[in-house]
Amino acid sequence: MIVLGIESSCDETAAALVEDGDKILSSAIASQVDVHHVYGGVVPELASRKHIEAIVPVLDEALSTAGISKEQIDAVAVTQGPGLAGALLVGFSFAKAYAYALDIPWVGVNHLEGHINSVFLEPDPPVFPFIALLVSGGHTGIYKVLSHTSIELMGQTRDDAAGEAFDKVAKMLGLRYPGGIIIEKLSMDGDPEKIKFPRPYLDKDKFDFSFSGIKTAVNRYIQTHEEEYKDQIPDIVASFQAAVVDVLSFKVINAALKTGCKNIAVVGGVAANSRLRDQVTRHSLKKGLKLHIPPISLCGDNAAMIAAAGYHHLMAGKKAKLNADVYSRAGYREMLRNGK
């Protein structure tokens, strides 16, 4: 089965063609980073307009790269939520109309399920059940993954997502958006032990996160070192990054040990961070766990992961109706918790 995936939840417009849930035929992405960086974050109205401009060219690129015609598409999978409502509506409405015109089934996909299913696009996927750390600009949580379509929420951030904290710290320091990439780059010239930022583990036996305290600690450091902090930026970002990574890596390893799962996955945009990848790799080896991280090209928002997740829902008999609508936040926690 060839599934067309469409993703437009935030600031990337993406289309991909995936065969049988694990073979990528093509993946095309139009980024809006250059549009939003001057504002220090995503502007929802601008994002929606850019999605409208990009959706058809991105689909044409995906079809051309795969070397197939639209008549060879068997089904459509599209991000239904969570995300920016206006941005979601562009991709969702397009997918609905496209499937209707071709008279083929279509299905709405939870964006978080898409990220988790991205590890099944690698050659050696995890064995169920496994623990997944999903860490991105909008979401940070730990999940027990029972199957492609059944996921249990174990813990999540109580405030900022990890990627959001990276963006906000970068903005405090006058750095370019998106913050994760520039902080990782600058931290290579810094000392991660130079500044002792807090590690908010909360309850070490549970799996919730909180990153607002680390963000506030960085802001206070800047305020109390007003004259010299600009010369210390590599040390500041390296120390901040180390604090975040320490918490993320501890929680996901502990979740695997507590549940007895031998496989763990790290997915989402922040999974591209080299310090996080290296640290979780080291800790996994020490504990006898098998780690799965998708290639960097599949860590950020993309449509291949949506097509992969959608394939399994379609095979389970799920199909969307024409009156289906997007959701920005409400309901997605319950959907994950109940495995629906």
How far is residue 316's CA from residue 310's CA, in Å, rounded to a whole number?
10
Q: Are the C-beta atoms of 44 and 290 separated by less than 8 Å?
A: no
Do 56 and 167 share a structural domain? no
What is the domain range of residue 50? 2-116+301-337
Number of domains in the chain: 2
Do 311 and 238 share a structural domain? no
On the question of pLDDT at 336 being above 60, the answer is: no
Which tokens belong to 160?
């900022």
Do 20 and 63 share a structural domain? yes
Rg (CA), the chain: 20
Report pLDDT digits (tens) over 19-31: 999 999 999 999 9
pLDDT of residue 35: 87
pLDDT of residue 338: 40
**Cα distances (Å, whole numbers) of residue 93 to 6, 10, 28, 321:** 11, 15, 19, 12
Report pLDDT digits (tens) over 257-285: 999 999 999 999 999 999 999 999 999 99
pLDDT of residue 337: 43
Helix (H) or strand (E) holding 223: helix 212-224
- Averaged pLDDT of the chain: 94
Q: What is the dihedral of CA 189, 192, 194, 200, to 10 degrees?
A: 150
pLDDT of residue 330: 52
Nearest to 195 by CA among 165, 233, 229, 236: 236
- Per-residue DSSP letter, 320: -
| Pairing mode of beta strands 140-147, 150-156 | antiparallel
On the question of pLDDT at 306 being above 80, the answer is: yes
pLDDT of residue 334: 43
Least confident window among 41-45, 58-62, 103-107, 149-153: 41-45
Do 29 and 48 share a structural domain? yes
Do 21 and 128 share a structural domain? no
Do 111 and 161 share a structural domain? no
Do 219 and 139 share a structural domain? yes
Phi and psi, residue 28, nearest 5°: -120, 135
Instruction: With H, G, I as helix, E, B as strand and everything else as coil, classify residue 301.
Output: coil
Whichever domain contains 8, its CATH number is 3.30.420.40
Q: What is the dihedral of CA 26, 66, 308, 86, to 10 degrees?
A: 70
How far is residue 66's CA from residue 64's CA, in Å, rounded to a whole number?
5
For residue 85, the one-letter residue type is A
Nearest to 277 by CA among 201, 184, 146, 144: 184
Do 283 and 157 share a structural domain? yes
Do 172 and 95 share a structural domain? no
Band (340; pLDDT cuts 50, 70, 90): very low
Band (39; pLDDT cuts 50, 70, 90): confident
Region 67-92: what's the mean pLDDT? 97
Q: What is the dihedral of CA 143, 146, 147, 148, to 10 degrees?
A: -10
On the question of pLDDT at 139 being above 90, the answer is: yes
Region 209-238: what's the mean pLDDT? 96
CA-CA-CA-CA torsion sign (7, 8, 14, 15):
positive
Do 288 and 158 share a structural domain? yes
What residues pair up with 300 in beta bridges, in sequence order? Answer: none
Region 238-260: what's the mean pLDDT? 98
Do 191 and 134 share a structural domain? yes
DSSP H stretches of helix in 67-84: none
Band (165; pLDDT cuts 50, 70, 90): very high
Do 136 and 103 share a structural domain? no
